[in-house]
Amino acid sequence: MSNSQLKEKSYRDGTMDQVYDLLMTYLNTQAHTVAFPEMTVPTIVMLKKFIKTCKNMSYSKMMKQIVDRALEQGDFITKKRSDVTFSVTDINAVVAWEKELKETNLPFKKHYASYRKNRERELSQQIADKDRNVEERLPAVERTKLMEKSKLKDREEFGELFGESSDEEDAKMDFEKAIQDGPPKKRKLQEIMENAPSSDDSEVDVESDDEESEEEKVVEKKVKHAPVTLENEDEDIVEDFHFSDSD
């Protein structure tokens, strides 16, 4: 990292928070041991030296809290050791004593539990602040309109799907019917053959139709030239009668 990055306040604050958290966690795991007072001597010496040379008051205060709590726990262990009757070389007795002491409410464990609770609350608050900042930067979204548009779009899509399916079913039915009926030319020829009358009947029908048409023509000519007389005492009018096309 560059010198400019090392001098940033956010980097230094984060580093000190991690150092404090690691020291508290480690000392909490060793607070019940018989050798805790001697084990913390190097750590206390280094922290006292840092406190004297550090120009940042907040950092010095953080490290001084660890020193004070470590010394307090060391004094507690020293008093407990003065009451034992076994020798330090008796490993089984030492392990049993540490196990019994671990179950008690140690001073350092009280401080660590309080620190852990406050630390978790602080981290949760930081996460909430970050989420709030992100939400403030994002544009507002009208969810009701989007829901209505999505519902309308879904209805249209479903309608198209159902329409396509019905068309496909109709086309399939027409195709199956066409296969059963056969080709159109063949089908038309079959219909003509089925509906066509026999040859003898057709000839008789044609001749009868021709005779009837000739008779109708002769009658029509006679009617056209026949005089029409009206039996009326006042006047007699003779006119030619003509058939109109509409009649």
Contact 27, 66 (CB under 8 A): yes
DSSP secondary structure code for residue 33 in this structure: S
Strands of 129-247, DSSP E: 227-228, 239-240
Q: At what angle do helices 9-29 and 107-137 cross, to 10 degrees?
A: 150
Total-model pTM? 0.51
Which residue(s) pair with 240 in the sheet?
A: 227
DSSP secondary structure code for residue 103 in this structure: T
SS3 183: coil
**Structure tokens that stand for 95 in this block:** 């392990």
Which residue(s) pair with 228 in the sheet?
A: 239
**Per residue of the chain (247 residues), what is the pLDDT tens digit?**
788 877 888 889 989 999 999 999 999 999 999 999 999 999 999 999 999 999 999 999 999 999 999 999 999 999 999 988 888 888 999 999 999 999 888 999 999 999 999 988 888 887 877 766 655 565 555 555 555 566 666 666 555 555 545 556 666 676 676 666 665 555 555 666 666 555 444 444 545 555 555 656 655 555 455 454 444 444 455 555 555 554 4
DSSP secondary structure letters along 62-80:
HHHHHHHHHHHHHHHHHHH
Report domain extents, the chain: 3-137, 184-240
Cα 27-32-37 angle, rounded to 5 deg: 65
Residue in 227, 229, 232 with CA at minimum distance from that of residue 242 = 227
Contact 101, 33 (CB under 8 A): no
DSSP secondary structure code for residue 229 in this structure: -
SS3 126: helix
